[in-house]
Chain A
């Protein structure tokens, strides 16, 4: 009888210990691996619970000719560069219908830096070019969804230059000149 009780207590203790290990050691480890795999930065949408800011992000309007600003929660980032990173991550993250993103699926943010006079250089993976459908409208919407997301939400950012694979590119799909930093342009916003 006693030995049976002891076995039950021992079993419960083992289960409790395993649960505690899973909660405090196993999950963080597994989580850490998965976030490390996903890129240089934890995506804003899957960031652990913490401070959020409200930011205007830009998605394709219903008529397909312009961008529509949508206010969304974006993870807080300490300092301009970190916040810029969170905003771009949120802007390029896949979205569900009825929203349509103007950034080609699979595009990753590589790095971002901001010069003291407010020019942001945002470096993307090559999917930004290889995944692009072309057409001047789509190209303008892609470019200005990123430029406007940074300039509209961060007073310290005046202009944005998009880079691809660490290099300056002439255009994404043959139309919009990316060799100069671009300023916020609300022509492309409804």
Chain B
């Protein structure tokens, strides 16, 4: 438990604006800075929806510990009393003629003029969002006075985090950390730390501990809805977030990915099988985390082929509002590629990179020749009825399948190999190559349906089989994804929007991860 000695609840501007993200700071004691014993006390801001309205305050974090100075809010501006700053930063203040005021620190001065949103520092003018206001001895300045003016004369770095109402004095590593939980039955925890911050994840009894290489955290942790796998997230000392696990927790996989200016930690949780009696598998015996396996490409999934349908003169479906299927699927395929490559570190091929015609046989050939482990053809649908809606997943069907299965294999043949010698090569009919992979393709379709369920609109017939040309020659598990109906105006608008696309891309990614982790039956 954190030794919580201060717990202040704040609201942004009396609730007339949206609540700011809750800020939580902890007592921290960095090993590097052990000499300077300071204590930053736990400081928690409102749980979302909290109604307690204490006075707003700015938290100042320095080698002397944590202090807070009251904020006054006027016209959406956060103002701070100059005298409070003078006390904290050991500033001198001196009245000048015509109501002006100088603020001094170690021989450097800032000149404030009443009712002017400008201050003068060594002849240089710095603008402020509002003018300082004066009421007798009380001078209020906007908080930006600290980051724009005071920082220029002060001898230590000042880092104002306005959304968190936090001021960091000195070179402390206080990353801004946000946490969210995505997904339903098998949740994913996404933790972003900005700037980039190393972290480590470990399991301790019924909690996952995420420890950051930092001096304190500027963390935003939402109140979680208790679920079978995750119960709660909370801060523990010194720079650690604890995730309290639920009774169905079975294991986790964590991976860290550097983003432009932050580090993203993704933790996928798995559950114990639902038919396992819980008593037989208490959470403490959950398998230890296997972090080392995460960054390296996992066996079984090295190359994914994505096939954006149509292209060139073939627009595919034209939506009621003018959307062309070929453009939509290319845009979404690029996003899926980016997500899979960044998070799994495996290669993703696109059968077309731009708006061009590619023959169906060529699309399968690109996947076959690059030995893709998975083939996903991406399409948007059309119906003669405008009301038709929902995504669907199709995998190949062959008439007279058992007979065709026998016919599909031509046995093996000894062929000369590149560089001399011979090797045995399995021969299959090009347009029957998919037959050997039908079971895995159906498993992939089921995983996709599972991931789409409750996340995006799903067709009344979510999984179908059909004699689809582009899939028949794919010599790996293969499906066609129909994102939704472009002939349905509402769906057309939805599919063009970022919300749908983000969810769709995430769901496809999640299905690919689960497919990778499900041991497959060998090709027939």
Asked if A and B bind, the verdict is: yes
- The interface of chain A, by Cβ under 8 A from chain B, is 60-66, 100-102, 133-138, 140-141, 159, 170-171, 173-177, 179-180, 182-183, 185, 187
13 A–B contacts from the bound complex (CB under 8 Å): A60-B383, A134-B325, A135-B383, A135-B486, A137-B392, A137-B482, A138-B382, A159-B399, A175-B466, A177-B469, A180-B467, A183-B400, A185-B397
A135 touching B380, Cβ below 8 Å: yes
Interface contact B387-A64, CB-CB below 8 Å: yes
Judging by beta carbons under 8 Å apart, are A133 and B317 in contact? Answer: yes
Contact B400 A177 (CB under 8 A): no
Chain A residues contacting B472 (CB-CB under 8 Å) are: 177
Q: Which residue of A lies closest to B399 (CB)?
A: A183
Given A133-B317, A135-B381, does the pair A65, B468 have CB atoms closer than 8 Å? no
Is A65's CB under 8 angstroms from B360's CB?
no
- Measured CA separation A60–B384 after assembly (Å): 7
B394–A136 contact, CB under 8 A?
Answer: yes
Shortest beta-carbon distance, B480 to chain A, in Å?
7
> Of B325, B379, B385, B480, which is within 8 A of A100 by CB?
B385
B290-317 near A? 1/0 per residue, CB < 8 Å: 0000000000000000000110001111
Q: Which 5 A-B pairs have the closest CB atoms?
A: A135-B382, A64-B385, A64-B388, A64-B383, A177-B469
| Interface assignment of B231: CB less than 8 Å from any CB of chain A | no
CB distance from B434 to the nearest CB of A (A): 11
B371 beta carbon closer than 8 Å to chain A? no
A118 to B242, CA, bound (A): 69
Chain A residue at smallest Cβ distance from B359: A170
Q: Determine if B413 is an interface residue (Cβ-Cβ < 8 Å).
A: no
A118 vs chain B, min Cβ distance (A) = 13
Q: With both chains docked as a complex, state the minimum distance between the C-beta of B471 and any C-beta of chain A, in angstroms.
A: 9
**Interface of chain A, helix or strand or loop or mixed?**
loop
User: A136 vs B431: C-alpha distance in the bound complex, in angstroms?
Assistant: 19
Check: B256 CB closer than 8 A to any chain A CB. Answer: no
B460 at the interface (CB under 8 A from A): yes
Q: Is the CB of B469 within 8 A of A133?
A: no
- B385 & A136 in contact (Cβ 8 Å cutoff): no
A64, B384: Cβ atoms closer than 8 Å: yes
Q: Is B461 touching A65 in the complex (CB atoms < 8 A)?
A: yes
CB pair A137–B469 under 8 Å, yes or no, is: no
Q: Of B310, B381, B394, which is within 8 A of A174 by CB?
A: B310
B316 near A134: Cβ-Cβ < 8 Å: yes
Q: In the complex, which of the residues B388, B460, B469 contacts A176, with contact meaning CB atoms closer than 8 Å?
A: B469
The yes or no answer to B96 lying at the interface (CB within 8 A) is no
Interface flags, B60-88, vs A, CB<8A=1, else 0: 00000000000000000000000000000
CA distance in complex: A179, B429 (Å)? 14
CB of B514 within 8 Å of the partner chain: no
- Asked if A65 contacts B317 (CB within 8 A), the reply is no
Question: What CA separation (Å) do A171 and B314 show in the bound complex?
Answer: 13
B465-490 with Cβ < 8 A to chain A: 465-470, 472, 480, 482, 485-487
The answer to whether B464 has its CB under 8 Å from any CB of chain A is yes
A20 to B95, CA, bound (A): 123
Residue of A63, A101, A133, A134 contacting most chain B CB atoms (<10 Å): A134
